[in-house]
Amino acid sequence: MYLIQREEPYGADIARIGLSWANSRVSQRLRARGLPEDLYLRFAAHLLGLRAGRRQALRGISPNKTWAIVAADAELADAE
């Protein structure tokens, strides 16, 4: 559960700094592991590619490994 402190429009600028912007326990943990700020944007691109049949599902892989795979994928780094 989250308590809304303020509203702001979500756009590309925020997507590029998604981990800092979210400021959740999960995003803080991912940042502490040195994963890129735009990780959520990369994950969204992965899901869109999965839906379009261009990417493979990452099922059966631990969440930590999944985040690392998404973070390291150069194709997803250019997604916007």
pLDDT digits (tens, 9 = 90+) for 9-52: 888 888 899 999 988 999 999 999 999 999 999 999 999 999 99
In a domain, 30, yes or no: no
CA separation for the pair 10, 80 (Å, rounded):
13
pTM for the model? 0.82
In a domain, 11, yes or no: no
Q: Give the residue numbers spanning the domain of 59.
A: 36-80
Residue 77 in tokens: 């780094």
- Name the domain count of the chain: 1
In a domain, 2, yes or no: no
Residue 3 has pLDDT above 80, yes or no: no
In a domain, 76, yes or no: yes
pLDDT at 1: 66
- How distant, in Å, are the alpha carbons of 5, 6, 30, 47, 57 from that of 44? 25, 24, 16, 5, 13
